[in-house]
Structure 1
Amino acid sequence: MSETLPALYERRVAEGTLDADPAQRETLPEFERIREELAKPRKGGLFRKAPPPPKGLYLWGGVGRGKSMLMDLFVETLEVPARRVHFHAFMQEIQSGVHAERQKGTEDPIRPVARKVSDAVRVLAFDEMQITDIADAMIVGRLFEQLVAAGCVVVTTSNRVPDDLYKDGLNRQLFLPFIDHIKDTMVVKELAAARDYRQDRLAGTDTYFTPNGPEAREAIEAVWQRLSDGREEPLELRVQGRTLALPRFSNGVARARFYDLCGRMLGPADYLKLAETVRVLILEDVPQLSRQNFNEAKRFVTLIDALYEARTRLIMSAAAAPEYLYVEGVGAFEFDRTASRLREMQSEGWGS
């Protein structure tokens, strides 16, 4: 028998790798309930249907409260096939699968896609469920119904209560049955931890490194390891029919180079999608800006505006301090506002 989740949590606290938190401890029984149920043998048979899966868990709360860490521990204790994946990455796969089924002329393209998932795992553990895409909104309800009907347990984290999912979205009335489905098939629980552990990890850490070079790269790598715990995956975001690729992503933290985001033909919609999806952006190798790279500079200003308005945490390496990044050429005067925002975004507690 595998270690129980409360036992694993307390062992990590005793080892000093976790700080004990009352609100986190309060959520452990919900995870453990699911683990215990899944550890029991399934008693279905030729003429007897297997019992329905235990209710899943929808764990919501503020950024950095430990939701992803608890999910990691939960998956570690499971003895059944499970998949841990960021919600956006999962829905990207589902959309691709549904598109392929439509190309084949499948009458109900969601069904075979859901079956492929449910045949492979008994637990789907999602990070950061949020619905911002009309295509996701139209698919996710039927997809989850079929997954649960096939015996899958869904456990997810989110920064918002179910009733706020897809808020003000197009045709939201068609999405409302999915919110009811969440409440019927999952226990909804708030993680009301007082501390922001992600901010704690950055406390006392520089978030702006200059000049570009080996020292800045080494410092950025150290921050990335601290925030990602060494785990990463690519993430693709759909924006108005295009794909915005983030090469390195982990637990709400994205890492990209300047030319990944500002050297391509991206616009405000791309940066807004990025800002609402990630909680921390690590942006590397921002060069000196001038009339020679005016288009890239304009995109950089738009990116910083989107991150600022969304209060996304920014960690950055650049050729110069904010005030000296763009000192000559058209737009240099207007860049003063961007420099000011970059300074503000370095302040203690930004993004909390």
Structure 2
Amino acid sequence: MWSFGPPPRGMYIHGPVGVGKSFLMDLFYASVTVPDDDSCCNNDSHSHKHAKITKRRVHFHEFMLDVHHRIFVYKQKHPRGDAIPIIAQQLAQEAQLLCFDEFQVTDIADAMILKRLFLLLLLDWNVVVVATSNRPPDALYEGGINRSLFLPFIDILKRTSDIISMEDSRKDYRLETRAGGQSYFWSNKDVRGDNNINNNMQAQLEEIFGGTASGTEAEIIPVLFGRTVQVARLNDRCAWFDFSELCYQPLGAADYISLCCRFPVLIMDCVPQLDAKHLNEARQFVTLIDACYESRTRLVLAAQVPLDELFVDFEAQVESSDGDEELFVSEKGGSSSSFATTMIRTKEGEYLEWSATGRIGVSLAQLSATNDLAFSFRRAASRLVEMGGKEWGRQ
């Protein structure tokens, strides 16, 4: 595409939820055509202007899983080798144009990988990056541990990309799809109570599922890195879970993506109201919603509160006693202590203690992403509205 001149600049589009960032990127991606091989083999000057374009559009969760899997495979053969230059070359040969949806950095390992990988992609291999994000570049990995090591990536991103802000856009277009598909049910009654509301809700879930599955054997779904996830209640097109099965277990994006690839419909019941007391579970739930959204998987929820009350907004103050102002660690333990805690302040001003190491999957690096989670609540609520439309889903 730019073999005979400097590469074009990339684009980084940021703004609130539902304002059309992904829509604009997808329009651009669709407009970038890939000529057939015959047109690329002609040697006249006109054909040089239409050299074959290789492109890839991917959600950022999925991209990072792919990168981690490539590192895993490389390290199996070369335990002491440096995988990043090899992976950068592979990615550049596969796609000259990379389009990322929901670009975000919340983990120190991802931050360090991205810094090295993108410096190679953007500067050595002239890959063009187009990305959408809820954060401006200067706010990426904000509050993260050792963020100073990540800052060169932000400088390169701003140097090679046009930064487009949609922060002034306040209309959430997803909310216009409210009418519709009955994918969200709720009752504030005891789920074990024998009452008409719960019986009716259960009947509707059974109808969506397609009948009971009491005699169905569990299925083992393969996941990247040689892992698996077990599904106990399923049929050919649908899997049914309790909230605790997917969000109280050490599962992540790779597991949810594998489930979405296998089933066009997922049912989840017993969904609680998600507030500052359920931060780890809420993070996993938001990741599940993102996976369903990207794969157009229908997600049917049975919750204890209405949809507009499912996500309780909160304000997180994350500060550090060792220099990173955004991360607050209590004085009964340092940054590496097994007793380190973070204090989360709710909108009502109540302080809750969140253990950094006392719960599965929680680390100090993840704590620096608490503010991102608060924003993710709004994105997830917006996406659930769109995903409840009649036209949502795949065959």
Q: What is the TM-score of this pair, normalised by structure 2? A: 0.50
Contact 1:244 1:270 in 2 (8 A): no
When residues 172 and 283 of structure 1 are mapped into structure 2, their CA distance, relative to the original with a 3 A threshold, is: farther
Q: What is the 5 A alignment of 1:87-236?
A: 87-103=60-76, 104-105=78-79, 107-148=81-122, 149-191=124-166, 192-202=168-178, 206=182, 208-209=184-185, 210-211=201-202, 212-213=204-205, 215-216=207-208
Query: Looking at both structures, which has the greater relative contact order when contacts are Cα pairs under 8 Å and sequence separation is at least 6?
Result: 2
Partner of 2:13: 59
**Among 64, 78, 81, the residue aligned to 2:54:** 81
Give the C-alpha shift of residue 142 in structure 1: 1.3
In structure 1, distance between residues paired with 2:109 and 2:301: 36
Give the C-alpha shift of residue 153 in structure 1: 0.3
Structure 1: runs of 5+ lacking an equivalent: 1-37, 44-50, 219-233, 248-255, 275-281, 288-296, 323-338
In structure 2, distance between residues paired with 1:262 and 1:131: 26
Amino acid at match of 2:310: M
In structure 2, distance between residues paired with 1:166 and 1:66: 23
Give the C-alpha shift of residue 98 in structure 1: 2.0
Q: Which has the higher helix share?
A: 1
In structure 1, distance between residues paired with 2:227 and 2:141: 20
Give the C-alpha shift of residue 351 in structure 1: 3.6
**CA shift digits 1:266-322 (9 cap, x unpaired):** 35x868999xxxxxxx995445xxxxxxxxx6xx5486744997896987443xxx5
In structure 1, distance between residues paired with 2:7 and 2:242: 43
Contact 2:108 2:144 in 1 (8 A): yes
Question: What is the DSSP-based 3-state SS (H/G/I as helix, E as strand, rest coil) of the residue aligned with 1:102?
Answer: helix
* Superposition CA RMSD, Å: 4.4
When residues 345 and 273 of structure 1 are mapped into structure 2, their CA distance, relative to the original with a 3 A threshold, is: farther
User: Relative to structure 2, which stretch is displaced further, 98-107 or 59-68?
Assistant: 98-107
In structure 1, distance between residues paired with 2:3 and 2:158: 25
**Among 241, 244, 248, the residue aligned to 1:266:** 248
Partner of 2:36: none
In structure 1, distance between residues paired with 2:248 and 2:165: 36
When residues 105 and 303 of structure 1 are mapped into structure 2, their CA distance, relative to the original with a 3 A threshold, is: same
When residues 135 and 261 of structure 1 are mapped into structure 2, their CA distance, relative to the original with a 3 A threshold, is: farther
**Among 288, 310, 317, the residue aligned to 1:345:** 310
Contact 1:207 1:346 in 2 (8 A): no
Q: What is the TM-score of this pair, normalised by structure 1? A: 0.56
Q: What is the 5 A alignment of 1:2-81?
A: 38=1, 42-43=3-4, 51-79=5-33, 80-81=53-54
Give the C-alpha shift of residue 102 in structure 1: 3.0
Give the C-alpha shift of residue 341 in structure 1: 6.5
Question: What is the DSSP-based 3-state SS (H/G/I as helix, E as strand, rest coil) of the residue aligned with 2:75?
Answer: helix
Contact 1:283 1:316 in 2 (8 A): yes
In structure 2, distance between residues paired with 1:147 and 1:109: 14
In structure 2, distance between residues paired with 1:179 and 1:73: 25
Question: What is the DSSP-based 3-state SS (H/G/I as helix, E as strand, rest coil) of the residue aligned with 1:259?
Answer: strand
In structure 1, distance between residues paired with 2:157 and 2:125: 16
Contact 2:105 2:111 in 1 (8 A): yes
Amino acid at match of 1:90: F
User: Relative to structure 2, which stretch is displaced further, 103-112 or 75-84?
Assistant: 103-112
When residues 153 and 271 of structure 1 are mapped into structure 2, their CA distance, relative to the original with a 3 A threshold, is: closer
When residues 146 and 271 of structure 1 are mapped into structure 2, their CA distance, relative to the original with a 3 A threshold, is: closer
When residues 258 and 343 of structure 1 are mapped into structure 2, their CA distance, relative to the original with a 3 A threshold, is: farther
Amino acid at match of 1:263: E
* Residues paired across the two proteins, number: 242
Question: What is the DSSP-based 3-state SS (H/G/I as helix, E as strand, rest coil) of the residue aligned with 2:241?
Answer: helix
Amino acid at match of 1:108: D
User: Relative to structure 2, which stretch is displaced further, 200-209 or 97-106?
Assistant: 200-209
